[in-house]
């Protein structure tokens, strides 16, 4: 068992940390409040090769794995810049296209994802289907060589920043039967594709959208893979990277919050010259949160290692557990940090309450804590499926 990062991974972590700190949480909040995006940070991370660490070198990436991408996600979040689109574009979209796309799709899309000049977002969630993706209602119909896509998607992150969206649909002949999903790479400016921004109570420069697909016409080569049979494996290919990187983002956010609070409680004095951190009622909750974050980090490391070793089934279990643990730990850490900071905890200046919405959402998305518990109950504890 090895808990050490390789020297290259160590260097990556230090370099990403330095980049994240140069921008910092103030930058993230300023962009979010102004309705802007973290474009400068994204492009600089892209130029430095951090967005493509998991993409093969032949397409301009770093040739690493999800371990490396998780390091990028964690360190940017630990610097106060939790970028959800890292989970969507390099983790989900790049993995799906790399593993299940055609040669032509790899050549067309991966270089742009690797250098950050392109983003591809991911649309699976639908208003009627929710957590039950077997109920997906977005349908793909053949029309000559083309496909026509119709349906509705909700909570789709970053559509306004992306050139393409990876849409999960069901083919018409399977519309009433068992779900046979198909994935399509759809330009975000395709005729018939419209969006409306959702008002979310999350302070973030990244936005969520409702998407309406009204007979969106895409050519045959928009279908991910050589045939419809690629759909289900392609969809599953994105799940482990998604869970592991979103967990890493949660762990980084937890670290950030605990660090802010610990700096404050070590120096703030309101009783007889002693720091408030000397009171165990203040220090113990922070220490408890630090333990939870560190436990989550261990599970993230295990899940990423298993995934990069090609042990997908085991990575599925660890990845789900890591996502659950990190989601809970991040929410606990931010809430505990706010409490430890007192009134300062609720100010924008101290930069902790600004994360409350994001960490709360991390217990719901991209997969809810309940659906992970269902998965663990069924696949680890051998319980009957209850739903």
Residues at the interface with ligand FAD (CB under 6 A): 88, 121-125, 130-131, 155-157, 202, 208, 361, 364-368, 370-371, 374, 387
- Phi, psi (degrees; rounded to nearest 5) at 126: -130, 150
In the complex, what is the shortest distance from the CB of residue 32 to ligand FAD, in angstroms, rounded to a whole number? Answer: 13
For residues 299 and 31, what is the distance between their CA atoms, to the nearest angstrom?
32
Of the pair 352, 358, the CB lying nearest ligand FAD is at 358
Residue closer to ligand FAD, measured from CB, 178 or 385: 385
Instruction: Specify the residue, 110 or 202, whose C-beta has the smaller distance to ligand FAD.
Output: 202
Q: How far is the CB of 279 from ligand FAD (least distance, A)?
A: 35
Beta strands 208-218 and 193-197: pairing type?
antiparallel
φ, ψ for residue 170 (rounded to 5)?
-115, 145
Sorted by sequence, the CB contacts under 8 Å of residue 173 that are 6+ apart come out as none
Say whether the peptide bond before residue 324 is cis (omega within 30 degrees of 0).
no
As measured in angstroms, the least distance from the Cβ of 123 to ligand FAD is: 5
Cβ atoms 234, 93 nearer than 8 A: no
Nearer to ligand FAD, 222 or 341 (CB): 222
Give 156 or 306: the residue with its C-beta nearer to ligand FAD.
156
The residue among 243 and 302 lying less far from ligand FAD, judged by its C-beta, is: 243
Min dist CB 258 to ligand FAD, Å, is 22
In whole angstroms, how close is the CB of 213 to ligand FAD at the nearest point?
Answer: 13
33: helix, strand or coil: helix
Residue labelled with tokens 């050549």:
107
Please report, for residues 148, 201, 219, 220, 228, the alpha-carbon distance to residue 144 in angstroms, rounded to integers and kept in the order given.
Answer: 10, 44, 9, 9, 16
Q: C-beta of 93: minimal distance to ligand FAD in Å?
A: 10
């Amino acid at each position: 068992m090895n808990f050490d990062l390789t020297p290259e991974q160590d260097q990556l972590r230090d370099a990403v940390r330095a980049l994240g700190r140069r921008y910092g949480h103030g930058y993230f909040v300023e962009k979010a409040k102004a309705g802007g995006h973290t474009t400068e940070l994204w492009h600089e991370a892209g130029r430095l090769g951090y967005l493509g660490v998991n993409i093969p070198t032949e397409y301009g990436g770093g040739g690493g794995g999800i371990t490396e991408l998780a390091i990028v996600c964690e360190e940017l979040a630990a610097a106060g810049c939790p970028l959800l689109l890292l989970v969507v574009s390099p983790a989900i979209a790049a993995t799906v296209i790399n593993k299940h796309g055609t040669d032509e799709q790899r050549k067309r899309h991966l270089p742009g994802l690797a250098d950050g000049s392109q983003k591809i977002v991911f649309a699976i969630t639908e208003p009627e289907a929710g957590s039950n993706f077997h109920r997906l209602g977005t349908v793909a119909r053949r029309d000559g060589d083309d496909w026509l896509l119709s349906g509705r998607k909700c909570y789709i992150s970053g559509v306004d920043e992306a050139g393409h969206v990876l849409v999960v649909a069901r083919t018409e002949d399977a519309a009433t039967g068992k779900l046979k999903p198909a994935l399509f790479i759809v330009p975000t400016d395709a005729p018939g594709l419209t969006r409306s921004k959702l008002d979310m109570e999350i302070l973030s420069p990244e936005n969520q959208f409702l998407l309406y697909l009204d007979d969106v016409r895409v050519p045959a080569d928009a279908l991910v893979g050589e045939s419809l049979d690629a759909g289900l494996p392609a969809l599953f290919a994105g799940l482990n990277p998604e869970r592991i990187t979103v967990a890493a983002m949660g762990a980084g956010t937890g670290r950030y919050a605990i660090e802010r609070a610990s700096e404050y409680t070590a120096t703030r004095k309101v009783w007889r010259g002693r720091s408030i951190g000397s009171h165990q009622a203040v220090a113990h909750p922070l220490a408890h949160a630090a333990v939870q974050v560190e436990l989550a980090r261990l599970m993230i490391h295990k899940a990423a290692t298993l995934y990069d070793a090609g042990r997908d089934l085991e990575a599925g279990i660890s990845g789900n557990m890591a996502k659950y643990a990190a989601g809970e730990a991040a929410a606990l850490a931010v809430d505990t940090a706010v409490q430890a900071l007192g009134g300062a905890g609720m100010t924008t200046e101290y930069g902790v309450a600004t994360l409350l919405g994001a960490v709360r959402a991390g217990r719901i998305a991209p997969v809810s804590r309940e659906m992970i518990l269902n998965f663990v109950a069924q696949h680890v504890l051998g319980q009957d499926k209850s739903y």
